[in-house]
Structure 1
Amino acid sequence: MPDAPFRYRSSEEDSARWAGFPFRDGDIVISTRSKSGTTWMQMICALLVFGTPDLPAPLSHLSPWLDWLAEPRDEVYARLAAQRHRRFVKTHTPLDGVPLDDRAHYVVVARHPLDMAVSLWHQSGNLDRARLAELTGRPAPAGPPAPRTPLVESLRRWVDREVDPRAELDSLQGVLWHLGDAWGRRDRPNVTLVHYDDLVADLAGRMRALAGRLGVEVAQPRWPELVEAATFDRMRERADLLVPDPAGVLKDRNAFFRRGRSGQGRELLDAATLARYRARTAALAPPDLLAWLHRDR
């Protein structure tokens, strides 16, 4: 008997909501850390599934975040049960926390951890905390918000923090835990790892490769339109349809698509902090994963 999935819980998520999920042949599970290309991969899957940029509903309705406590589990299950197209479901849970079903294909997206941390800092400032507390049944924040730690200092602290990776998945340890688990499963026929930087460098090639992995056939004349619809600029133009904000927790939806490039995390840190980052990651993940993740030559 396979091991039962580990239960990941936070104030906003609970991976136990996957328990009893009725999988179908061809289901796609998109497993990422926060700000690592989740919405981008959801859009790519939507374009491959529907074969057109004209989606029949907002992306968050087509591809719900199953673990998120802000939407009742029964409502999410009912929406997925009613879908007749090939389903693609979002999760921020590592693969050891979701049921691994042979009928499904699991796509894990990786991003350089420092770039992910920069995007997460900006995203944190765009969240309506009172609205989020209301949706998840927690007390509303009392008083004015505390001053935010400046980005560079926040990034330094993020590199140096010691936490339980399974308790804080958006920490450096949590990111490498998530990716390390997927890396160990990368040879399975129904697990695909995709690097954010590969999408930046060769979006058309990566989309074609993913279509092959998923067994999706796309007519040759359709490819240019689909690839164009998945570019950062086109997605930002359609923020109202594509931003994952069905419950209104973002202050500014347009700010969700901020830059879409790589390298800022490394640009912000001094040599000493970068050296500490390298030493810490070397102790947290195998060399072959880190070479792939960091794009080392």
Structure 2
Amino acid sequence: MNPHRYHSAMEDSHRWLDFPMRDDDIVICTRSKHGTTWMQMICALLVFQTPDLPAPLPELSPWLDWTIAPKDAVFAELEEQLHRRFIKTHTPLDGIPIHPAARYIVVARHPLDAAVSLYHQGSNLNRERIAELTGVPVPGSKTTQRPELRDWLVGWTLAGNDPRKFPDIFPGVMAHLSDAWTRRAEPNILLVHYADLSADLEHEMRRIADWLEIEVPESCWAELVQAAGFAEMKAKAERTAPDPLGLMRSRDAFFRRGESGAAAELLSAEELVAYEARVETLIPKDLADWLHRP
């Protein structure tokens, strides 16, 4: 059975159907604003074992299903890579073929924190540039004044959009993580929590390296962990931000804060209760407990 198709003006998951995988490929399969770029940097540092990467991060780790970049060019770029490849996708695991020997990493984040980051990312996008590249006019909803963050966040938690048509809205995010959660015991799938990266980056990088079967000399760890930190990535935003075609108003603004836990404070006690009730209808309790833990 073919994977589900996730298709929009900027993404087409069916590109994966034609992509020739290698046995040692690493696929970073993470929803928007859940730590995709962070995991790309971690993988880059583990593969090259130096903070001095040979090219900007978006070149080393292309977004395969991004339709703005021609498919043949992306495939050719990846074919030319001689190092162990680490490839970006925002498509859930049920939307891509699972190669039995490749490795798939899914990063999860507290949904409210991810949503706040998504809101600010929307303000940083150059909609006119996107329309120029996609040929799709800027939607009317994007040309009017945006609601305040709190009102937008409440609406995001209550949305009922089709997960396959709107994967960044709440039901889509929950479907992405729920699908990955059901596969977590599979040997080539790893779930990583954004909060764990924040709390103990070195521990998580060592865990990821062990799982990828990458040996890192002990003398390298300190500088690799430092290079994967938020401050270092923000300082090098021109080479780390996922913006090869100028879709952002500011690459520096892409790395806004990188913190966890503050988003829930935007909602009232009643709104948080409603959010938690909604979570119960969308994902199993063990996933909810893991996802929302401190």
Shorter-normalised TM range: over 0.9
Q: Write the distance in 1 (CA, Å) between the matches of 2:141 and 2:270.
A: 37
Q: What is the percent sequence identity of the aligned residues? A: 57
3-state DSSP class of the match of 1:93?
coil
Q: Find the partner of 2:84 among 80, 86, 90.
A: 86
Give yes or no for contact 1:23–1:103 (8 Å, CA) kept in 2: no
1:105 corresponds in structure 2 to: 103
Give yes or no for contact 1:30–1:108 (8 Å, CA) kept in 2: yes
Normalised by the size of structure 1, how large is the TM-score?
0.97
Q: Structure 1 residue 159 and structure 2 residue 157: aligned?
A: yes
Q: Write the distance in 1 (CA, Å) between the matches of 2:44 and 2:227.
A: 11
Q: Write the distance in 2 (CA, Å) between the matches of 1:172 and 1:265.
A: 14
Kindly report which structure 2 residues correspond to 1:41-120, keeping only aligned pairs within 5 A, or say none. 41-120=39-118
3-state DSSP class of the match of 1:192?
strand
1:103–1:47 distance in 2 versus 1, CA, 3 Å: same
1:14 corresponds in structure 2 to: 12
Q: Write the distance in 2 (CA, Å) between the matches of 1:236 and 1:140.
A: 29
2:143 corresponds in structure 1 to: 145
Q: Write the distance in 1 (CA, Å) between the matches of 2:139 and 2:266.
A: 31
2:244 corresponds in structure 1 to: 246
3-state DSSP class of the match of 2:88?
strand
Gapped regions of structure 1 (runs ≥ 5) = none
Q: State the Cα deviation string for residues 141-163 of structure 1 (Å, max 9, x = none).
A: 68993111110000011111111
Q: State the Cα deviation string for residues 264-286 of structure 1 (Å, max 9, x = none).
A: 21011101110010000001000
Q: State the Cα deviation string for residues 181-221 of structure 1 (Å, max 9, x = none).
A: 00010001100000000000010000000000000000000
Q: Find the partner of 1:209 among 188, 199, 207.
A: 207
1:269 corresponds in structure 2 to: 267
Question: Aligned AA for 1:153?
Answer: D
Q: Write the distance in 2 (CA, Å) between the matches of 1:114 and 1:104.
A: 31
Runs of 4+ deviating beyond 2 Å: 139-145
Aligned residues: 294
1:222 corresponds in structure 2 to: 220
Tell which deviates more after alignment, 7-16 or 250-259.
7-16
Question: Aligned AA for 2:292?
Answer: H
Kindly report which structure 2 residues correspond to 1:163-242, keeping only aligned pairs within 5 A, or say none. 163-242=161-240
Normalised by the size of structure 2, how large is the TM-score?
0.98
Gapped regions of structure 2 (runs ≥ 5) = none
Q: Write the distance in 2 (CA, Å) between the matches of 1:269 and 1:144.
A: 24
RMSD (Å) for aligned C-alpha atoms: 1.3
Tell which deviates more after alignment, 3-12 or 253-262.
3-12
Q: Write the distance in 1 (CA, Å) between the matches of 2:187 and 2:101.
A: 11
